[in-house]
Amino acid sequence: MKKTGAQIFWECLVKEGVDVVFGFPGGFNLPIYDAMPEYPVKHILVRHEQGGAHMAEGYARASGKVGVAMSTSGPGATNLVTGIANALMDSIPMVFITGQVNSFHIGYDAFQEIDVTGITMPITKHNYLITDVREINHAVREAFYLAKTGRPGPVLLDITKDAQVAVLDWEYDDTPIKLLGYDPTPTPAESDLEGAMKLIQQSKKPLILAGQGVMMSGAMDELKAFAEKEQIPIAVTLLGIGCIPAEHELHLGMMGMHGESWVNNAIQQADLLIACGMRFDDRVIGRVQSYAPHARKIHFELDQSEVNKNVQVDVAVIGDLKGTLQKVIPMVQPMKHDDWLESIDEMRTESKELTAAHTVRNGKLLVSDVMKTLSDSCSQPSIVVTDVGQHQMWAAQLFQRHDPFSFISSGGLGTMGYGLPAALGAKVACPEKSVWVIVGDGGFQMTQAELSTAAQWGIKVNVAIMNNGFLGMVRQWQELFYDHRYTATPILSPDFVKIGEAHGLPSRLVTSMDEVADVVAWAEKQPETVVIEFRVEPEENVYPMVSVGSALDEMILYPEEKKE
């Protein structure tokens, strides 16, 4: 049957199970858009291509499916770059589709021509320049296969306009995808499993470090079963939040630069670290020479390139985490570590008491108090999406997450402006769940135009803006390490309530703690997106904090403990 390249493209997307795409049309993807109404795919028109990339990522993370974002060539394609890089850093399965000038114009500086495959080569798992209609079927199928297998990541398809309009006598080709040298599910070596088991059985103070890889592999039950059998406490990374229920007795909390003090101290005191689906990021380990000095280290990891990259380990077990833990659990003998757990619990109790003693309110609206009340008040099941900054760290510390993929945040790239669009994508994926997006006044202004996307498509999220009048995280560094020289961090914001109302969205201003619980209940009753501006204390700092170059247990715990 004769089909245009655009029709072939959509039929391949439908075969891949795509039911929604986020995008923005233009001259060089117009044939694709012209063919779109023939197919059962919902298109969400965004206000900026970066917003579309983040929406598609929020959709992918909340649904477990591959997220899809589209743009035209030139500036449309370059506007996707930040979202592509974010997806690569956080290992999110994504397919990006860009239009390209006609193949016979490539290399002649045609209008809106840009070498998007060259630009994105370092930030994609793979990318394709498609100049022939006959390439579309296989390239689309291969792109989705690569995006979701092995360590997930973004793949880009750049399709020339003449390939989109060309006609081909075509039938769908579903030949199994095989790529030379690509092994998405390596089998763990028995010798490595035995070496890991030996260290586990010898350990007196073991600790599991759990990252997003636990959820990406679907290994939540296996992790819990392994930890319970061996009675090993679990610390989580920022993106690992939700891989173990917060109320579980072995759950400790978040590790790293703004992790809980008892978690960081436990890492430094442990005699064995078992890393599961995490990559020993620099924000997790502090000064590498002083990291976990008493601990042997086991790394359960899918991506061989992550092993010994930042931290040297004693045993690396390469394979999909779910399958690896299924092999590990029967191999180990049940263990008890009551003394170790009691020691950590004592550190946790002491830390919480000291934090309470050092918290000074004086009638001020503190972000930390707002976060705790939001966590206690929002309905379940819910998804929390954050932007990047101080509010992100408070949300990670204080929102108690019990379900996988219920905390969504930009991790490796730390992208301001991520929160609102990612939340919209998450809501599209999970319309039955309450979605709260926690943003700062700085990051929100970067992508606030996506409120129009929420209004046009009837996407309901609850936007909580922590307005402290600063780029808060940078200001905190300036306070602690640059003698209070607040250069370029005070930020003027518009009236966010009026901004929300201008989009036809219910909006409220909150200035005291007495209002917080009521406004949460009000927000969740509204049928459309709501905007809530919290006027919070301008110079509240998020603690603990491990400064750059410090060991993980050399934390700044309270304002008076600033180190010169």
The distance of Cα 507 from the centroid of its chain, to the nearest Å, equals 27
104 is catalytic: no
Contacts of 345 (CB under 8 A, 6+ apart): none
Cα gap 75→82, rounded to integer Å: 13
Residue 468: φ, ψ to 5° = -110, 5
**Annotated catalytic residue: which of 3, 148, 161, 205?**
161
Tokens 């992918």 identify what position? 60
15 is catalytic: no
Strands 2-4, 167-169: pairing kind: antiparallel
**Annotated catalytic residue: which of 15, 112, 326, 327?**
112
C-alpha angle 492-494-495 in degrees, rounded to nearest 5: 130
Integer CA distances (angstroms), 436 to 336, 463, 523, in order: 39, 6, 10
The distance of Cα 406 from the centroid of its chain, to the nearest Å, equals 11
161 is catalytic: yes
496 is catalytic: no
112 is catalytic: yes
**Annotated catalytic residue: which of 42, 111, 201, 352?**
111
As a three-state string, the secondary structure of 453-486 is HHHHHCCCCEEEEEECCECHHHHHHHHHHCCCCC
**CB environment 87-116: b (16+ within 10 A), e (fewer):** bbbbbbbbbbbbbbbbbebeeeebebbbeb
**Annotated catalytic residue: which of 11, 16, 49, 222?**
49
Cα gap 446→465, rounded to integer Å: 13
**Annotated catalytic residue: which of 215, 416, 473, 545?**
473
Residue 205: φ, ψ to 5° = -130, 65
Contacts of 507 (CB under 8 A, 6+ apart): 496, 497, 498, 499, 500, 501, 530, 531, 532, 533
Catalytic residues: 49, 111-112, 161, 473
